[in-house]
Structure 1
């Protein structure tokens, strides 16, 4: 099962991803983003939650301006692209 990290303020997106069967982890800091397949953030910070460590291989999705369904589609697209 794919592990998806979602910024803590995006509860509606966390719920939508869980409904689709994803293992959702709340991201509060950069360390939470390790060992994830994908990260969903608000994009409000210029450095996307400080996730700048090149060892983090997860795809980053900026949820700013997107609905929960649109984010779910982007997550599925990213995961399909890496498989």
Structure 2
């Protein structure tokens, strides 16, 4: 199952993704994003996690203004495009 990095404050998103069977990693610093297929950030400070300049293989999703279900749909769309 894909590994998804999620900012700590997005607990509803973490729970929704876990319910769908995704492996969740809490993003506390740039190193936490290593090996993630996709990362979800709050968008409050897009470069706070260093993800704006980070070289991750997966997509970065800005969850600002989205429900947990919306974020899950975005994650699934991004992961389907990567395959």
Give the alignment's TM-score, normalised by structure 2: 0.93
Q: Write the distance in 1 (CA, Å) between the matches of 2:22 and 2:62.
A: 18
Distance 1:4 1:46, change over 3 A: closer
Asked if 1:2 corresponds to 2:6, the answer is no
The SS at the match of 2:43 is: coil
Runs of 4+ displaced beyond 3 Å: none
Unaligned runs of 5+ residues in structure 1 are: none
The SS at the match of 1:50 is: coil
Asked if 1:77 corresponds to 2:77, the answer is yes
Q: 1:33 maps to which residue?
A: 33
CA RMSD of aligned residues (A): 1.0
Aligned residues: 82
Q: Write the distance in 2 (CA, Å) between the matches of 1:63 and 1:35.
A: 20
Unaligned runs of 5+ residues in structure 2 are: none
